[in-house]
Amino acid sequence: MNDSNLGEFASEGDLAFTQKSLYGINAEPMYSGALSFLRRVYRRDLSGVDIAVSGIPYDLATSGRSGTRLGPQAIRRASVNLAWGAHYPSGIDVFAKQAIIDYGDLVFDPGFPERIPAAIEAHAQKILDHGVSMLTLGGDHFISYPLLRAHAQKYGPLALIQFDAHSDTWAVDNKPIDHGSMFYQAVREGIILPEKSVQIGIRTHNPDPLGIHVIGAHHVHSQTPQETASLIRDIVGDHPAYLSFDIDCLDPAFAPGTGTPVCGGLSTAQAQMIMRDLYDVHFVGMDIVEVSPPFDHSDITALAAGHIAFEYLALLAAKKS
């Protein structure tokens, strides 16, 4: 088959390895090729890179159903559905002015769990030290803690924008490696500023929010997405902000593939519309976590995660337009 018969598709295929530029959109069939995130180039060379997407396939901190170690792989697979065109409805070409690569996964030995938090932090420091922004695919929600530590070393104490069904600020003082107390540890260490931080979609009780603003799921449902986004912007202001999106923020109808599903959550559409209105937030990094493919159906959850990550990249691209 010659190039003229390929129509809009790239002739070489496997764009994750063969495309020459870090910029622009190049089409490849959804059903073939190496499954990098959004068909971006796989590479470890950080020179000339704006954003590095990396996976942390870790779920040893999960308190219930495991399986999120398979999350990065599933999100990459689902993301190819978004790789062929501009962002909707803005029409922004996310890749026109942003050099985005897939950095691959952090590899670690699960037989030594006590070493993993430091490995995640070092992984993030290496990328951030090159002046490259991070979009991280989890993995369970514990990974946000070492990621926040690395980002705080670069940017100082951060505003946390957390989409979640759970606060993850339950008080445990012996620093366990779990996914329910890491933001308690982060507040105590001064990594995040409670007065500048906000949790969206919460629907499990915690008697002490540690001063973090909470926009419960019922409040999100009682107002428009634009009103929720406006409240988030007012809380965060122009402070450097880290976005952590736990996929269980979404109702199980929209994200069944997660470890601790809670009914009454946001729809994917609500989350997307809120994200799109966070246009003037000073984002310094993002993770999306708790996608558990063994409990997913037709990649619904992984696809939702890919869409949310794409919304984030569109926000960053809009600032460069």
Q: Strand pairing of 100-105 and 159-163?
A: unpaired
Q: Are 286 and 135 in contact (CB under 8 A)?
A: yes
Alpha helices of 1-96 — where are they, by DSSP H? 15-18, 71-79
Q: What is the pLDDT of residue 175?
A: 73
Closest CA to 141 of 122, 121, 172, 166: 166
Taking the C-alpha atoms of residue 167 and residue 217, their distance in angstroms, rounded to an integer, is: 12
Domain span holding position 28: 3-320
Q: What is the pLDDT of residue 65?
A: 85
The number of distinct structural domains making up the chain is: 1
Residues 238-264: tens digit of each pLDDT: 999 999 999 999 999 999 999 999 999
Q: What is the pLDDT of residue 33?
A: 83
pLDDT < 50: residue spans in the chain: 1-7, 10
Contacts of 265 (CB under 8 A, 6+ apart): 165, 201, 203, 217, 248, 249, 250, 251, 252, 254, 255
- Could you tell me the CATH number of the domain that includes residue 36? 3.40.800.10
Q: Are 42 and 101 in contact (CB under 8 A)?
A: yes
Q: What is the pLDDT of residue 6?
A: 42
Residues 55-83: tens digit of each pLDDT: 999 998 888 888 999 999 999 999 999 99
Q: Are 123 and 138 in contact (CB under 8 A)?
A: no
Q: What is the pLDDT of residue 5?
A: 39
Q: What is the pLDDT of residue 11?
A: 54
